[in-house]
Amino acid sequence: MKQMKENKRGVMGILIFFGVLIVVLILGFLAAVAWSVLDIASDEITPIMEGLGMVEDVNLSQASEVSVGVVDGFVQSMPWLIAMGYVLALVFTLVFVFLVRYNPSPAYFAFFFSLMLLLVLGCVVISNMYQDIYTGTDEVSSRLQEQTIMSFLILHSPFIMSLISIIGGILMFGMKDSGMGGGI
């Protein structure tokens, strides 16, 4: 049996893995809230622009329907795009670990575990912030409630991120002999 040599470069792969996970979480949170604000603006601007009528020889209602109406249609489909992008980014982190085959020394497992706990703590903070906005009675909270998939993913992010971290840890530390993961 061929002896796999361990990666002695340090903890850089572990830091990148957790850095990407926290960035994906923060970007997902910001994208969901930003879409809510953009949707409110789109719902206010679209009827006004489509009701402009004729100015001299130009039908501004028809022109705005072609331009603003298309933008409004895109804004209405953005929750699905945001959710799919979020899920694909989370899947990409695991695929990246699998393809790069980063194999840290087992001595770094405690560091990996401590970063996993910090990630879950950060997920709890982000999830609580999202829940405070989500359960409100204002216009933004009603728009967040329309985003069922993204709201589910962010509100349950501590469980989802811990599961991804555990799978990532298995790929990094545990699959040396099977040929599926670790080893260079």
Q: Report which of residues 114 and 179 the model is more confident about.
A: 114
* Amino acid in position 76: Q
Structural domain contains residue 65: no
Count of structural domains, the chain: 1
Structural domain contains residue 180: no
Question: pLDDT digits over 127-137, tens only?
Answer: 999 999 999 88
Bridge-partner residues for 54, per DSSP?
Answer: 59
Q: How far apart are CA 174 and CA 17, in angstroms?
A: 16
Domain that holds residue 18: 12-40+71-174
Cα pseudo-dihedral 81, 86, 92, 93, rounded to 10: 170
Report the range of poorest mean pLDDT among 37-46, 55-64, 105-114. 55-64
pLDDT category at 159 given cuts 50, 70, 90 is very high
Structural domain contains residue 46: no
Structural domain contains residue 109: yes
Structural domain contains residue 4: no
Structural domain contains residue 104: yes
Contact of 60 with 53, CB cutoff 8 Å: yes
Contact of 176 with 109, CB cutoff 8 Å: no
Structural domain contains residue 147: yes
Cα-to-chain-centroid distance, residue 120: 15
Q: How far apart are CA 150 and CA 36, in angstroms?
A: 12
Structural domain contains residue 105: yes
Which 3 state secondary structure label does DSSP give 54? Answer: strand
Q: How far apart are CA 172 and CA 32, in angstroms?
A: 31
pTM score: 0.81
Question: pLDDT digits over 38-55, tens only?
Answer: 999 888 887 777 777 777
